[in-house]
DNA sequence: ATGGGAGTTCCGCACAGCGAAAGATACTTT
DNA sequence: AAAGTATCTTTCGCTGTGCGGAACTCCCAT
């Protein structure tokens, strides 16, 4: 039982499409496939037909037909007989809420995020890794200019954002390398920048306690980030603070906001550091 | 033992009418079971062990073991080796966001909800049915804008709320009866009230275009609701407007807010705006 | 130490779920 | 209108997946 969670946690945690040739007797394929179907509904693809799902997932049409049938039956997909297309259904949203409602880190973090967002008029967010993305768990904005009400749940890339870098940098080396490898395979052209950014983030975390992304994700967005471990030490989150580059200078981030983020992260972490690694 | 009950009841709670109880060759059991595992994580149960999941779902321990293993692998569950318990993972949240981001009704409804919530200082929400619950798809509050996105995705009962009644009342009779029957089985003691409320809602919708729930869900909450069909006519949503009974009188709801809700519902259903074809 | 409870692994069997191809339906094209 | 095209569903045997009882391991309590 030596090779346990580290490997499996990283094993399929990357990308759809190819099912890794694991003879894992513990792995339930149909479940994974069904979830892959749900995952096919991305930002740009609010509605999909069976054909499109089959293409995106690489599964055969009859399989898709059965899976969608099942998912509709359970309320995770809605079917429009009008145009033969599916949409994500209410069941999926209820699950998402249950997830966020049960997250104690979020509860504890929220007042601090609000405080910082309001006092410095920046965007503050907490996120977690999901495969090769970061998912926003919570988000506070300074001035309610344009209220894009909830990007809680939205994804941003892992490699180029301050949030992603903070998390990658804090990850055990093995897992980090696994993820970097997956990114290199998937987007070889972006990889050099990604790798460089992550290496820099590791150094920054060592020296100053927070890492940066100045224009690396969107070139008009600056942000600083810190990692935060859950109380039981099993989950790794990231905390960022950022804004448009013409509002938010790198100096402010480096000298004021970064340190404040570090301080918040300290308060969020367990009172006693039990780093048994 | 009687383990068939919960599972099948839950499965069919979405699909009304002539679902032949014959072994549905289209139905992928493992997928349904896996999703049932995720669903076991309710409001009160942020973390669960395998044993508890097995009890809640009625599945055998080895089966749960395999399903949780798979779900952890895919990022839909997080596992804490510390105490051997699971939590919903980030993947689930990303799905929820994709669902809500792809909902055009929500986009179109939002400005109207905000407007009404602000001008009348009430809570306005849009929801959809998920099995025997209503799931909030969006929610605007009048004055206290503190917790805005928090209860998106949260569930309220189908039978006693204005939202649930609006949807039940507008449903095809067969489906409505199917759901009522399911509710009678599951909560026989509450059923008489539920049935009465729904019958009343049907009458109210006919006569005044909106239905009511005055203290029937929480006895200090008043609300009025209307059904809204999606543009393609395939999905049925509900719109409510409500607040605490000491702030929001039944008269205001009946004479002012109810009609305004009806008007909003009309604008949501009618695609003929200032469109130049 | 010792017992009990929780979780995982073994194992053979049944049948769930798979995919090629045929059938059904809706939507275009000529 | 009729043939053509694209999409989705159903059929049908075969295979291998996933199932559960029982045995095994681990972790806490006491």
Query: What are the residue boundaries of the structural domains of chain B, listed by start?
Result: 26-93, 103-269
CB-based contact, A135 to chain B, within 8 Å:
yes
Give yes or no on whether A15-94 and A103-268 have one common fold. no
Q: Which of residues 10-49 of B touch strand D (CB under 7 A)?
A: 25-26, 29-30, 33
pLDDT for position B232: 78
pLDDT in tens, B102-128: 898 998 999 999 999 999 989 999 999
The two tokens of residue B89 are 């993972």
pLDDT tens digits for range B32-76: 999 999 999 988 788 999 989 999 999 889 999 999 999 998 999
Helix (H, G, I), strand (E, B) or coil at A194: helix
Query: What whole-number distance in Å separates Cα of residue A205 and Cα of residue A208?
Result: 6
Q: Is B6 left (phi over 0), alpha (psi -120 to 50) or beta?
A: alpha
Q: How many angstroms from the chain centroid is the CA of residue A21?
A: 25
CA torsion, points A154, A160, A162, A168, in degrees to nearest 10? 90
As ranges, strand D nucleotides with an atom below 7 A of a protein CB are 6-12, 17-22, 26
Answer whether B77's CB lies under 8 Å from B86's CB.
yes
Give A138→chain B minimum CA distance, Å: 10
Q: A208 touching B, CB under 8 A?
A: no
Helices B90-101 and A29-39: angle between axes, nearest 10 degrees: 40
| Token duo for residue A168 | 């990658």
> Yes or no: is domain B103-269 CATH 3.40.640.10?
no
Tens of each residue's pLDDT in chain A, 277 residues: 322 222 333 344 433 333 343 457 789 999 999 999 999 998 778 899 988 899 888 888 888 988 999 999 899 999 888 788 899 999 999 999 999 998 989 989 999 999 999 999 899 999 999 999 999 999 988 875 543 444 789 899 999 999 999 999 999 999 999 999 999 999 999 999 999 999 999 999 999 999 999 999 999 999 999 999 988 888 999 999 998 888 899 999 999 999 999 999 999 985 544 444 4
- CATH classification for the domain delimited by B26-93, as one of 1.10.10.10, 3.90.230.10, 3.40.309.10, 3.60.70.12: 1.10.10.10
Q: Which of B26, B16, B31, B21 is nearest to B236 (CA)?
A: B16
Provide the pLDDT for residue B234.
83
CA torsion through residues B187, B211, B96, A122, sign: negative
Fold exhibited by the domain A103-268: Beta-Lactamase (3.30.450)
Tokens of B274: 């200032």
* More confidently predicted of A18 and B255: B255
**Predicted local confidence at residue A190, as pLDDT:** 95
Segment holding A191, helix H or strand E: helix A191-208
What is the CATH T-level fold of the domain A15-94, as seen in this structure?
Arc Repressor Mutant, subunit A (1.10.10)
H/E segment holding residue B125 = strand B123-130
Collapsing DSSP to helix, strand or coil, B180 comes out as: helix
* Confidence band for B206, pLDDT divided at 50, 70 and 90: very high
């Amino acid at each position: 039982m030596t090779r346990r969670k580290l490997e499996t946690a990283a094993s399929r945690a990357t990308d759809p499409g190819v099912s890794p040739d694991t003879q894992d007797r513990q792995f339930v394929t149909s479940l994974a496939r069904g979830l892959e179907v749900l995952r096919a509904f991305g930002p740009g693809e609010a509605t999909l037909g069976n054909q499109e799902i089959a293409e995106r997932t690489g599964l055969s049409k009859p399989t898709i037909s059965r899976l969608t049938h099942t998912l509709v039956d359970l309320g995770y997909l809605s079917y429009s007989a009008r145009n033969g297309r599916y949409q994500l259904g209410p069941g999926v949203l209820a699950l998402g809420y249950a997830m966020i409602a049960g997250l104690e880190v979020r509860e504890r973090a929220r007042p601090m995020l609000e405080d910082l967002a309001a006092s410095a008029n920046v965007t503050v967010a907490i996120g977690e890794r999901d495969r090769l993305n970061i998912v926003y768990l919570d988000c506070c904005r300074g001035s309610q200019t344009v209220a894009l009400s909830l990007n809680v749940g939205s994804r941003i890339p892992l490699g180029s954002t301050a949030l992603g870098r903070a998390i990658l940098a804090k990850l055990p080396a093995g897992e980090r390398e696994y993820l970097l490898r997956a990114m290199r395979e998937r987007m070889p052209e972006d990889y050099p920048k990604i790798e460089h950014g992550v290496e820099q983030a590791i150094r920054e975390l060592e020296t100053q306690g927070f890492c940066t992304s100045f224009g690396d994700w969107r070139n008009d967005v600056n942000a600083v980030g810190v990692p935060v471990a859950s109380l039981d030490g099993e989950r790794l989150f990231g905390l960022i603070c950022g804004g448009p580059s013409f509002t938010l200078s790198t100096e402010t981030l480096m000298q004021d906001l970064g340190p404040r983020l570090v301080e918040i992260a300290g308060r969020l972490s367990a009172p006693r550091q039990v780093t048994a690694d």
